[in-house]
Amino acid sequence: MKKVYVAGAYSSDDVMGVLENIRRGIEKCAELLGEGIAPFCPWLDYQFQFFNKKLTKTDYYNYSLAWLEVSDEVFVLSGWENSAGTIKEIKRAEELGIPVKYE
């Protein structure tokens, strides 16, 4: 299966924005999975927090980048332009020569 790292905004100014970002991200990943693609879905990360409250934002960034670095492609959801994390992910993909596609 083609491994695709799905990137996009997670954080927001309010909880409703965060929930909408999570919904959009998971929806796109489910769509890709249905197309026979193996997506990495960072919007599912919140579940780890239920089981390990010691995890930090840096832990999540490092874990995500480890998956990005072995991906065949990065797919970026619209609305990413103000996401510091997504900007870093795009930069890292470009450094590694991983193709970046935009919604």
Q: CA-CA-CA-CA torsion for 61, 11, 41, 79, nearest 10 degrees?
A: -120
Q: What pLDDT does 51 receive?
A: 96
On whether the CB atoms of residues 40 and 63 are closer than 8 A, the answer is no
pLDDT tens per residue, range 24-44: 999 999 999 999 999 999 999
pLDDT tens per residue, range 44-57: 998 999 999 999 98
Q: Which residue segments constitute the domains of the chain, with CATH numbers given?
A: 3-102 (3.40.50.10400)
Q: What pLDDT does 42 receive?
A: 95
On whether the CB atoms of residues 76 and 40 are closer than 8 A, the answer is no
* 100-102 sheet: strands from edge to edge: 38-40, 3-7, 73-76, 100-102
Question: Which pTM does this prediction carry?
Answer: 0.92
